[in-house]
């Protein structure tokens, strides 16, 4: 028997339901007020459509962090781009030298003065071509390495985020981060980024050459930068908003597609096709409108920059021609200036396209950063404490003044104490929403208590390393999820390094071997998508074989027989006797047939433990469990 120290007047609460795609604003679980405040200062654990104001700075820091290991490569790339920019800038100066000095000297009989600048021009052209080739190759290589690092960072972080995050963030949204957003970032890094950098370096080098050749003409060219700067600032702000809106819109489209395909049976069973069609039309309309706004802004920016470039060229020709007529400027210098103006404003066409890609990639990177930057609610200890070596008959579990609530502060589990001796099997029963699933989520440390501690053999679970905890505690759920691969692959998930014989022994232990032998390729038979080749009972037996192979000290069964027919349930019940032997077990059961194997039953109601004793004692007491058991017996008659 256990003691229950409960709050005197708690409000009745139910277990938090598993949210669907529309439930994006549910509260997050918290450990304490201080940790809640720290997370609240950052943002909700699920990635929202409205990003924090400093997300652009966070995205840049993430990019710098990922690029740091390739610093040498980026320095080499900068050197190559400088060679390209300088070569691109000094080329017209040789043309001016040839026109103003080489041609007159050649007419006078000295061809050397013409050949030298022309040869120099050819060498510079060759050098810039070589630099462009190697720069393109190196840019592509560095971009791919950075993308690999970003994908790994995102995927690894998503796997490590707590259950609370995944219960509140749709899988479609995360798929959008890994696919659509990653693609936009990659397109910019592998193509537009190099064009942008080359264009900017070339413009900078040309600007220096303009000042060196004739400062008066340089001022004419630079005056065009005043309206160009204004146009760029306005367009940049508008395009950032448009691209954020576009990324959000396409994410909603992907979410809807993923949910529709994932629940296609329900869609067809309830004839949801027309409703889904109307919804995706509305979401596509938002994506189309956002994209159209982005294209309008790009067109406006492109037209403005080209107009400014053309007006600058006309101004250079007008002022330069007037100076040439007055013998204040040589014709070769004017020719060079016209070439420079072309090279100065010429990259703007590419920069306009790169500008759009940059804004799209920037918005995508901000979305990715929002996920990567999400702080896990359950944090692994920096200095973990080892679990003591047990005698091999399970572990003692204690809930010490434990209470749990979500961030709204309303208690889901009022304060209680509970002790489970090592090797004991307890069953949790009660109506839906009574708090059973929340209790086992605390035991498996998918959540941390708002108050109090959960201990295993005296060690606070907050102090246990994740690897040790997952080895000691295994949960089998009613979904019995099957991954792509063979039957043996799915059993081996319980212990990846298990031998074939150990896999076969685990299958034997739960009574799965006879069925496997009837399959076309035995243990090597592909289970197909989500185990579609297996029945519900067979999938559950595979899950039990996993648990048996993992050999945990504590086993949690979350409604493991909820969706089984009677023959499958009996087969699973027989397997349970083997799987539970020598372990501490906590079983959530709606079917009271599962309770018969328990040493002890806890009846829960509104987050409280209202009855706690052996099955026989509770039946004899005439309480809630006795009523449930009586109703169950009548249903079997």
Highest mean pLDDT among 10-14, 282-286, 560-564: 282-286
- Name the CATH topology of 55-372: ABC transporter transmembrane region fold (1.20.1560)
Quick one: what percent of the chain has pLDDT higher than 70? 86
**Neighbour order of strands in the sheet with 584-588:** 473-477, 554-558, 584-588, 425-429, 600-605, 608-613
Question: What is the pLDDT at residue 460?
Answer: 94
* Beta strands at 459-460 and 451-456: parallel, antiparallel or unpaired: antiparallel
Q: Enter the tokens of residue 245.
A: 């809106």
Question: What do you get for the CA distance between the two ends of the chain, in Å?
Answer: 32
Question: What is the pLDDT at residue 635?
Answer: 66
Distance in angstroms (rounded) separating the CA atoms of residues 603 and 618: 10
The CA-based angle 347-63-374, given to 5 degrees, is 135
List pLDDT tens digits, range 323-380.
Answer: 888 777 788 777 777 777 777 776 666 666 677 777 778 888 888 888 888 888 888 8
Comparing CA positions, the residue from 568, 550, 557 lying closest to residue 490 is 550
Q: Which residues pair with 605 in a beta bridge?
A: 608
Comparing CA positions, the residue from 369, 383, 572, 559 lying closest to residue 460 is 383
We find that the CATH architecture of domain 423-636 is 3-Layer(aba) Sandwich (3.40)
Question: What is the pLDDT at residue 35?
Answer: 38
Under the phi-then-psi rule, with left for phi > 0, alpha for psi from -120 to 50, and beta for the rest, what region is 634?
alpha
Question: What is the pLDDT at residue 18?
Answer: 39
pLDDT-based confidence at 189, cuts 50/70/90? Answer: confident
Fold equal for 55-372 and 423-636: no
At residue 626, does pLDDT exceed 80?
Answer: yes
Question: What is the pLDDT at residue 463?
Answer: 92
Question: What is the pLDDT at residue 574?
Answer: 72
Give me the residue spans of the domains in the chain: 55-372, 423-636
Cβ atoms of residues 287 and 180 within 8 Å: no
426-441: average pLDDT? 87
pLDDT-based confidence at 135, cuts 50/70/90? Answer: confident
At residue 29, does pLDDT exceed 70?
Answer: no
629-636: average pLDDT? 72
Distance in angstroms (rounded) separating the CA atoms of residues 413 and 439: 8
At residue 257, does pLDDT exceed 60?
Answer: yes
pTM exceeds 0.85: no
More confident position, 23 or 296: 296
Neighbouring residues of 484: CB distance < 8 A, sequence distance ≥ 6: 526, 527, 528, 529
Distance in angstroms (rounded) separating the CA atoms of residues 213 and 452: 77
List pLDDT tens digits, range 103-120.
Answer: 888 888 788 888 888 888
Question: What is the pLDDT at residue 162?
Answer: 78
Whole-number mean pLDDT of the chain?
A: 79
Distance in angstroms (rounded) separating the CA atoms of residues 190 and 558: 47
Cβ atoms of residues 445 and 399 within 8 Å: no
- The dihedral of CA 231, 50, 257, 155: what is its sign? positive
Question: What is the pLDDT at residue 19?
Answer: 39
The helix (run of H) or strand (run of E) holding residue 306 is helix 273-325
CB-hemisphere CA count at 13 Å for 228? 20
Distance in angstroms (rounded) separating the CA atoms of residues 90 and 429: 83
390-415: average pLDDT? 83
More confident position, 637 or 576: 576
pLDDT-based confidence at 568, cuts 50/70/90? Answer: low
pLDDT-based confidence at 47, cuts 50/70/90? Answer: very low
Q: Enter the tokens of residue 358.
A: 């940059």
List pLDDT tens digits, range 570-620.
Answer: 766 777 777 788 889 999 877 777 787 888 999 998 888 998 998 889 888
List pLDDT tens digits, range 522-550.
Answer: 888 888 776 677 877 788 888 888 888 88
């Amino acid at each position: 028997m256990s003691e229950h120290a409960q709050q005197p007047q708690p409000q009745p609460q139910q277990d938090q339901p598993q949210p669907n795609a529309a439930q994006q604003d549910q509260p997050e679980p918290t450990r304490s007020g201080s940790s809640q405040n720290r997370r609240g200062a950052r943002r909700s654990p699920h990635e929202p459509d409205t990003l924090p104001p400093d997300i652009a700075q966070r995205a840049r820091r993430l990019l710098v962090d990922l690029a740091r290991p390739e610093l040498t490569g980026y320095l080499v790339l900068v050197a190559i781009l400088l060679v390209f920019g300088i070569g691109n800038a000094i080329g017209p100066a040789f043309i001016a030298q040839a026109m103003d000095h080489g041609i007159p000297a050649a007419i006078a009989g000295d061809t050397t003065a013409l050949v030298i600048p022309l040869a120099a021009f050819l060498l510079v052209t060759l050098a810039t071509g070589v630099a462009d080739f190697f720069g393109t190759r190196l840019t592509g290589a560095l971009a791919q390495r950075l993308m690999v690092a970003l994908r790994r960072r995102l995927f690894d972080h998503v796997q490590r985020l707590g259950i609370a995050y995944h219960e509140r963030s749709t899988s479609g949204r995360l798929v959008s981060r890994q696919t659509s957003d990653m693609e936009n970032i990659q397109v910019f890094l592998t193509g537009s980024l190099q064009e942008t950098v080359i264009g900017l370096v070339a413009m900078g080098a040309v600007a220096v050459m303009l000042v060196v050749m004739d400062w008066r003409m340089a001022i004419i060219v630079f005056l065009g930068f005043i309206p160009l700067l204004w146009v760029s600032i306005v367009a940049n702000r508008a395009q950032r908003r448009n691209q954020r809106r576009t990324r959000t819109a396409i994410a909603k489209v992907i979410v809807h597609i993923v949910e529709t395909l994932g629940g296609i049976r329900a869609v067809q069973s309830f004839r949801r096709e027309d409703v889904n069609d109307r919804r995706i039309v509305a979401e596509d309309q938002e994506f189309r409108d956002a994209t159209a706004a982005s294209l309008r802004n790009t067109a406006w920016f492109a037209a403005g920059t080209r107009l400014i470039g053309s007006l600058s060229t006309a101004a250079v020709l007008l002022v330069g021609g007037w100076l040439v007529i007055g013998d204040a400027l040589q014709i070769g210098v004017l020719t060079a200036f016209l070439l420079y103006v072309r090279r100065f404003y010429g990259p703007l066409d590419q920069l306009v396209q790169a500008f759009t890609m940059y804004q799209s990639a920037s918005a995508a990177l901000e979305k990715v950063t929002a996920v990567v930057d999400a702080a896990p609610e359950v944090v692994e200890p920096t200095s973990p404490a080892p679990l003591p070596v047990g005698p091999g008959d399970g572990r003692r579990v204690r809930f010490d003044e434990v209470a749990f609530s979500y961030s709204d502060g309303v208690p889901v589990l009022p304060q209680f104490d509970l002790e489970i001796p090592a090797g004991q099997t307890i069953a949790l029963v009660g109506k839906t929403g009574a708090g059973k699933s929340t209790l086992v989520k605390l035991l498996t440390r998918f959540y941390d208590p708002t108050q109090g501690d959960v201990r295993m053999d005296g060690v606070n679970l907050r102090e246990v390393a994740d690897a040790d905890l997952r080895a000691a505690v295994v949960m089998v759920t009613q979904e019995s999820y099957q991954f792509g691969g063979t039957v043996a692959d799915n059993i081996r998930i319980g212990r990846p390094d298990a031998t074939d014989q150990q896999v076969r022994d685990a299958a034997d232990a739960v009574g799965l071997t006879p069925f496997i032998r009837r399959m076309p390729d035995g243990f090597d038979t592909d289970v197909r998508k989500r185990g579609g080749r297996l029945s519900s009972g067979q999938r559950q037996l595979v899950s039990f074989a996993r648990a048996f192979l993992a050999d945990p000290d504590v086993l949690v069964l979350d409604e493991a027989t909820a969706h089984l027919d009677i023959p499958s349930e009996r087969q699973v019940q027989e397997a349970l006797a083997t799987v539970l032997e020598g372990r501490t077990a906590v079983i959530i059961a709606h079917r009271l047939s599962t309770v018969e194997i328990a040493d002890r039953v806890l009846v829960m109601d509104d987050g409280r433990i209202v009855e706690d004793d052996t099955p026989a004692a509770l039946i004899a007491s005439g309480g809630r469990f006795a009523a449930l058991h009586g109703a169950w017996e009548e249903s079997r008659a």
